[in-house]
Amino acid sequence: MIEARHLRVLRAVSTTGSFSAAARELGCTQPAVSQQMKALESSAGTPLLIRTGREMRLTEAGEALVRHASGILAGLTAAEEEVAAIAGLRAGRVRLVSFPSGSSTLVPGALAALRAAHPGTQVSLVEAEPPRSVEMLRDGDCDIALAFRYGTTGGEWDDLVVRPLLTDRLIGLVPEGHRLAGAAAVGIGELADEPWIAGCPRCRRQLVEVCEASGFTPRIDFATDDYPAVIGLVGAGLGVAVLPALAIESVRPKGARTVTVEPAVEREIVALTLPDLARVPAVAATLDQLSRVAAR
């Protein structure tokens, strides 16, 4: 087995013309070069160098090796350079999956900061709701999954790296002319008889749980993943809703008014990744930018 290190030394010997000069160039001692060349000749099975008194010449086999060495060492340095670019964030690809309200708020700021700090990185963004996004993460189809959970249930993600980003309060949304439109805080029970407009399946389940804890079952007339649509429906006076603050932040609630809802319900928004991926520079940098944007 010929080693690349030996080829590097052989090339240095070939260009400098002496063991000592090659050793100086390589930053080691002359016997080290001498021994490496002996080892290389041993593994080659034939002499590679001709030691005459005056100069150091290559044999035919030595010339063949030097000829190949350039390509091999070039390939090695190219590989090292590419890996170093990824490790040094001059390159690197991050595949991000986010739920809709995250991708419209947290993600743009984080990606802008990432791009500014490390122009070579490339990020792709796909939208998916938590159960599916975590599955994609485990299947290797993405590197970071933005997800959320209501309360720290725990247990479902303990094989993942969970980076908490922020906690998101649920905010009530009522039509502008509604009797509770100006209230400082509204008990959820006061909305027991209203028609409801629900969000995504998880949010809907959470809504039902909270309402049932308050003693009623909400009458859900509409359910849609599309938060602007929810707001539009509320604004049209078709019902009330509770939405994560994050979902409202990026939308101007036209015709609807926000009210604080009691009891306070929070959802925790986290970034998920695999333990090994968390150590990939581009992934770590993206996580950091997400944390930074979330801290605002």
Partner DNA sequence: GCGACCCTGCAAGTAGCGCTTATGGTTGAA
Partner DNA sequence: TTCAACCATAAGCGCTACTTGCAGGGTCGC
Is 78 near a copy of itself (CB under 8 A)? yes
* Contact assessment for residue 14 and residue 58, using Cβ atoms and an 8 Å cutoff: yes
Q: Cis link prior to 263 (omega < 30° from 0)?
A: yes
* Cα gap 215→92, rounded to integer Å: 52
Find which of DNA, a copy of itself, none residue 29 binds, CB within 5 to 8 Å per kind. DNA
235 binds a copy of itself (CB under 8 A): no
Cα gap 28→37, rounded to integer Å: 14
Please give the structure tokens belonging to residue 217. 């079952």
Residue 51 in contact with DNA, rule: CB under 7 A: yes
State which of positions 3-32 bind DNA (CB under 7 A): 3, 5, 18-21, 28-32
287, amino acid identity: L
Residue 59 lies near DNA (rule: CB under 7 A): no
Of the two residues 21 and 136, which places its CB atom closer to DNA in the complex? Answer: 21
Write down the least CB distance from residue 279 to DNA, Å: 12
Distance CA 266, CA 84 (A): 42
Q: Where are the beta strands (DSSP E) in 111-212?
A: 122-127, 144-150, 161-175, 185-187, 195-198
Segment near DNA (CB under 7 A); pick from 53-61, 203-211, 257-265, 266-274 = 53-61
Residue 61 or 162 with smaller CB distance to a copy of itself: 61
* Closest among 116, 120, 114, 123 to 94, alpha carbons compared: 123
Per partner kind, with CB cut-offs from 5 to 8 A, the member of a copy of itself, DNA, none near residue 227 is none
Q: Binding mask 35-54 vs a copy of itself (x if CB under 8 A, - otherwise)?
A: ---------xxxx-xxxxx-
Between helices 281-295 and 60-87, what is the axis angle to 10°? 10
Residue 223: which of a copy of itself, DNA, none does it interact with, CB under 5 to 8 A by kind?
Answer: none
Partner touching 38 among DNA, a copy of itself, none, CB below 5 to 8 Å by kind: DNA
> Per CB under 7 A, which region of 49-57, 61-69, 100-108, 188-196 contacts DNA?
49-57
Q: What angle do CA 286, 292, 296 make, to 5 degrees?
A: 145
Q: Which amino acid is at 119?
A: P
**Contacts of a copy of itself in 153-182 (CB under 8 A):** 159
Q: Are 184 and 260 in contact (CB under 8 A)?
A: yes
Distance of CA 167 to the CA centre of its chain: 20
- Residue from 284, 283, 258, 287 nearest 94 by CA: 283
Among 15, 28, 35, 68, binds a copy of itself (CB under 8 A): 68
* Shortest Å, Cβ 209 to DNA: 24
Nearer to DNA, 30 or 224 (CB): 30
In the complex with DNA, the residue whose CB is nearer, 47 or 228, is 47
Binding site for DNA (CB under 7 A): 3, 5, 18-21, 28-32, 34-39, 51-54, 56, 159
